[in-house]
Amino acid sequence: MSVSTQTTVLSGHSIIAGRETPGNAGTTRGIDPATNAELEPAYTLIDEAQLAEATAAAEEAFESFSALDPETHAGFLETIAANIEAVGPELVDRAATETGLPKPRLQGELARTTGQLRLFARVVRQGDHRGVRIEPPLPERTPLPRPDLRQRKVPLGPVAVFGASNFPFAFSTAGGDTASALAAGCPVIFKAHNAHPGTGEIVGHALTEAVAACGLHPGVFSLVYGPGASIGQALAKDPAVKAVGFTGSRGAGTALMATAAARPEPIPVYAEMSSINPVFLFDSALRGDADEFARAYVTSLTGSSGQLCTNPGLLFVPAGEAGDAFLTAVDRALAGAEGATMLTPGIARSCRDGIDALGAQDGVEVVARGKEGATENAPAPVVFGTQVPTFLSNPVLQEEIFGASSLVIRYGSADDLVVAAARMEGQLTASLFLSEKDLPTAAPLLPVLERKVGRILANGWPTGVDVGDAMVHGGPFPATSDSRTTSVGTLAIERFLRPVAYQNIPDALLPAPVQAANPWHLNRRVDGRIELAGDSAEDRA
């Protein structure tokens, strides 16, 4: 292990509305998956009565937090980012120990997490997500006059967020779901991931201190450690909670969806779950350096021990010489690759089970296999191979194996690709490797892929998700529970908003975004046309 720069004394407790709260329901411990050693401290787990304190505080915080002025609101997100950066080195150390992920990867992820908070702060200041629409009154309209109508989006209410094990920063305590819910104006109750409890606590303190520093109601954020699924179910059932953000397995995600749908008041669940991310190689794309191409594939496949939602799990390779040469190169590239420590013993076990199950299917064979890693929980990466008809006839071949496992499908014609794509479940991504002359062949695949995935890439591997304005990290079920949105990028904020219309309401009662004077300088849709803030009469004056 590296020399620790850790300075925070970890308490091992939940933080409920700003207060360290020892739990009444037993303890859990993080473990170092490279050695299976248990880590200090033990983490106390809360019971349902303690959880109710967190949700009640969030409910209480909602009114003031949801009405925050843009400058204070954006400053809050920026303070969280700064506070996280201030403990960056110890965060990376702790996360590396708890997750087995390499430090450079974690450093990059930390930068993504703080960058995301700052990006969302810019959106909060700019304000287009507030969706202001104005229809001035038309008293002379026949047969009926038009009233004064003003629309804006308001936050849904407190949001329950469940973090992912595979992104201890970017999809965890202050990750995408938390950041987008806070940017929308929703208090967050974060269910800590028990696989990285110390990392969660350090981030939780950074966030809690930002709440205090910005003078916000302490109920704006709580971090709770609880006994696995039961506390998660209780959280999703709590009447104060108005939406759920989740990243994790299909089983856990669909369980949350069922719970949310069965509530007396059903609520939206944004669950990012399962994807095998098909990659389509066109013949000409394989005409270059087969070894270089194979190495890029193996890098995408084995990075973070394959534990990425956008891992290339399915590879369509043309029959014939170029495809053969590519697979020989994959065999060479993978032979030297060693398994890397996975996040938890349970995940490593599931990965091995998945690999065994896939290898046992009729018509599926091993194309290439790497070596077991030297640490614990480091299964050998593997690439399987099959043919299109086998893929079409056996749904097991579409099941995600979370880890460095991929299935190559040899295909004969571009029609095969359209047929296979049409039969696929929903995915986060689809990738095409093609050259200029493949465009006419690839064109019929595009509309099929648009119905199946959230992001289509050309000549790039699906791992690596840019956090920006145009990103979609989402897709039809089972990739996510709700294809109408994204869990990465600025559009994610809109998941936690709903529209409200104001009809003939006196200006003095209107909230700032829809007041006549436009005090927040928002772009607004007036009479059906966008009016940029700089173009309004007031701004010109």
Active site residue ranges: 272, 309
Q: Is 258 near a copy of itself (CB under 8 A)?
A: yes
CB 114 within 8 Å of CB 188: no
Q: Do β-strands 427-433 and 405-411 pair in parallel, antiparallel, or remain unpaired?
A: unpaired
Determine the residue type at 290.
A
Distances (CA, A) of 395 to 121, 210, 389, 399, 478: 43, 48, 12, 7, 14
Distances (CA, A) of 99 to 197, 223, 472, 477: 10, 19, 26, 28
Q: Is 140 near a copy of itself (CB under 8 A)?
A: no
Site for a copy of itself in 150-209 (CB under 8 A): 150-151, 154, 156-157
Q: Quick count: other Cβ atoms within 10 Å of Cβ 431?
A: 27
State phi, psi for 169 to the nearest 5 degrees.
-110, -60
Q: Do β-strands 405-411 and 382-387 pair in parallel, antiparallel, or remain unpaired?
A: parallel
> Of the two residues 38 and 415, which places its CB atom closer to a copy of itself in the complex?
415
Q: Is the peptide bond before 143 cis (omega within 30 degrees of 0)?
A: yes
Q: Is 372 near a copy of itself (CB under 8 A)?
A: no
> Of the two residues 346 and 447, which places its CB atom closer to a copy of itself in the complex?
447
- Partners of 19 in the β-ladder: 16
Please pick, from the candidates 127, 303, 312, 426, the single residue that binds a copy of itself as defined by CB under 8 A.
Answer: 426
Q: Is 362 near a copy of itself (CB under 8 A)?
A: no
Q: Is 460 near a copy of itself (CB under 8 A)?
A: yes
Instruction: List, in order, residues 6 or more apart from 389 with CB less than 8 Å away.
Output: none
Please pick, from the candidates 455, 493, 518, 522, the single residue that binds a copy of itself as defined by CB under 8 A.
Answer: 455
The stretch among 80-88, 217-225, 293-301, 467-475 that binds a copy of itself (CB under 8 A) is 467-475
Cα–Cα distance measured from residue 95 to residue 140, given in angstroms and rounded to the nearest whole number: 65
Q: How many residues bind a copy of itself (CB under 8 A)?
A: 86
- Partners of 531 in the β-ladder: 524
Q: Is 399 near a copy of itself (CB under 8 A)?
A: no
Q: Is 22 near a copy of itself (CB under 8 A)?
A: no
What x-and-dash track marks residues 238-257 binding a copy of itself by CB under 8 A?
Answer: -------------------x
| Distance linking the first and last C-alpha atoms of the chain | 63
Q: Is 470 near a copy of itself (CB under 8 A)?
A: yes
Q: Least distance (Å) from a copy of itself to the CB of residue 159?
A: 13
> Of the two residues 212 and 262, which places its CB atom closer to a copy of itself in the complex?
262
Please pick, from the candidates 84, 134, 276, 522, the single residue that binds a copy of itself as defined by CB under 8 A.
Answer: 134
The stretch among 185-193, 197-205, 371-379, 505-513 that binds a copy of itself (CB under 8 A) is 505-513
Cα–Cα distance measured from residue 41 to residue 93, given in angstroms and rounded to the nearest whole number: 15
Site for a copy of itself in 79-108 (CB under 8 A): 108
> Of the two residues 47 and 399, which places its CB atom closer to a copy of itself in the complex?
399
Q: Least distance (Å) from a copy of itself to the CB of residue 119?
A: 8
Measured over the CA atoms of residue 90, residue 95, residue 101 and residue 107, the dihedral's sign is negative
Q: Which among 330, 271, 252, 339 is positioned nearest to 304, based on CA atoms?
A: 339
Site for a copy of itself in 284-323 (CB under 8 A): none
Q: Is 422 near a copy of itself (CB under 8 A)?
A: no
Q: Is 528 near a copy of itself (CB under 8 A)?
A: yes
Q: Least distance (Å) from a copy of itself to the CB of residue 123?
A: 8
Site for a copy of itself in 43-62 (CB under 8 A): 62
Q: Least distance (Å) from a copy of itself to the CB of residue 91?
A: 18
Please pick, from the candidates 459, 517, 519, 538, the single residue that binds a copy of itself as defined by CB under 8 A.
Answer: 459
Please pick, from the candidates 472, 487, 493, 522, the single residue that binds a copy of itself as defined by CB under 8 A.
Answer: 472
Q: Is 504 near a copy of itself (CB under 8 A)?
A: yes
Cα–Cα distance measured from residue 86 to residue 274, given in angstroms and rounded to the nearest whole number: 34
Residue 129 is given by DSSP the state G
Please pick, from the candidates 294, 355, 401, 453, the single residue that binds a copy of itself as defined by CB under 8 A.
Answer: 453
Q: Is 458 near a copy of itself (CB under 8 A)?
A: yes
DSSP 253-299: HHHHHHHHHHSSS---EEEE-----EEEE-GGGGSS-HHHHHHHHHH
